Amino acid sequence: MAKVNIYPTNYELKEVLSSITNRGFLNEFAQQKGIFITHVDTDTLAQEVSNLFLDNEDLEAIRKESYQSNSNHALSGFVVKSTDKKFDLKTNYQTIFDQAKFKFHQKPTQLVKIKDTNIYRGSIEYVKKKAGRIEFLQDEVSQFEFYMEEVGPGAWRVEVDGTRSTDSKELRDLIDEVITKDTEVLILDQALLNTESSILFFDRLANEGMAANYNFKTITHLSIKRGSVDDNEDGEETDVVNSEDLVGITQAILKGENLRENQFVKQSVKSGYRFNAMTYEFAHKTEPYHLELKAEFKGRPKVFEVTIANYQAGSGVGAAREKAVPSATQSRKIRSEFWNKSKVIFDEIIKRK
């Protein structure tokens, strides 16, 4: 839980209300406090609200909204591979669990084998300390689930289902503490892709990333970044591609053309940009479901993760689509299948066995 004993400064409140929470929440919160200002920008409204004296219930509402603003579950993962063909990640994790109360700041749970599978599920809780000047949102407790499965002699696949890009790193850091030098942790690291191969990666995901019972429909979002892959987020220049260029990219994919030959893509590469995130819309072949999946490299190092950005369902043929919520099991299955196919494509591109 966030700290509650320090009242936030005017600066902190304004920054959180204007930059982290969404405008709908800000409008409703302001109106509850008797502020009915129309036709003003978000910064101005946030400034007005930050001038108020808020009680602890108000502050908790703002904290909760802030933490939920990035709460979409993202699935990322890695492979732990050893030259020892008898390597057992379960045993290593038990060491982590046994030592946790003495050595680590994380709180891991015992592994549980999922019925009728060879998959083991666990979870970890940790305190995420935030850098920066906003004391108000310090020391948030985060929690994520993970799944591990032996995929070959000495090789284990680990999938992390969390709400923060740091979740996967938390687990990797724990595993690094207990594995030996003959074992390595393999991630889908963007630094291993050059500009052209990153374009090929996102291009192939459109037609090969999703399960066979879905058809690719369109690209709904693409972000490109200029700067070194090793740069921090603040040191990169990010652009969101406009709808006209997205149509051209979609058509190139649907026609099976080499995306690197697209005029917009050519110009982007020439200007020093690289693909960083792409959102795909897929339609189920036999059922009235449409979904948008966001594939993105995030964090440092930039690790690949998959998020369901939108999910819609219709009640019948030709019916209007309405926003729906997939079950937790269905959501994880979709993201897991996409991430695992992404890994196959990634390994083929960089020729990793």
Q: What is the pLDDT of residues 159-181, one digit of tens each?
A: 999 988 788 998 999 999 899 88
Domain boundaries, the chain: 10-68, 74-187, 192-350
Q: Are 174 and 106 in contact (CB under 8 A)?
A: yes
What was the pLDDT predicted at 2?
43
What was the pLDDT predicted at 131?
47
What was the pLDDT predicted at 4?
46
Q: In sequence order, what DSSP letters do the residues of 187-200 get, joined into one string? A: E-BGGGS-HHHHHH
What was the pLDDT predicted at 93?
94
Q: Options 3.40.50, 3.30.1490, 3.30.310, 3.30.60; which CATH number does 74-187 get?
A: 3.30.310
Instruction: Report percent pLDDT > 90 for the chain.
Output: 41
Higher-confidence residue of 348 and 314: namely: 348
For residue 244, CA distances in Å to 48, 191, 247, 251, 256 come to 38, 29, 5, 11, 19
Instruction: Report percent pLDDT > 70 for the chain.
Output: 84
pLDDT tier, 295 (very low <50, low <70, confident <90, very high otherwise): very high
Q: 306 pLDDT exceeds 90? A: yes
**Which residues have CB under 8 Å from 227's CB, separation 6+?**
235, 236, 237, 272
The one-letter amino acid at 198: S
DSSP 8-state code for residue 179: -
Q: 145 pLDDT exceeds 90? A: yes
Higher-confidence residue of 227 and 135: namely: 227
110-124, 198-212, 257-271: segment of lowest average pLDDT: 257-271
14-28, 229-243, 295-309, 311-325: segment of lowest average pLDDT: 229-243
Q: Are 290 and 312 in contact (CB under 8 A)?
A: yes
Average pLDDT, the chain: 83
Q: Are 89 and 148 in contact (CB under 8 A)?
A: yes
How many CB atoms neighbour CB 227 within 10 A? 15
DSSP 8-state code for residue 85: T
Q: What is the pLDDT of residues 211-220, one digit of tens each?
A: 999 999 999 9
The pTM is what?
A: 0.75
What was the pLDDT predicted at 65?
67
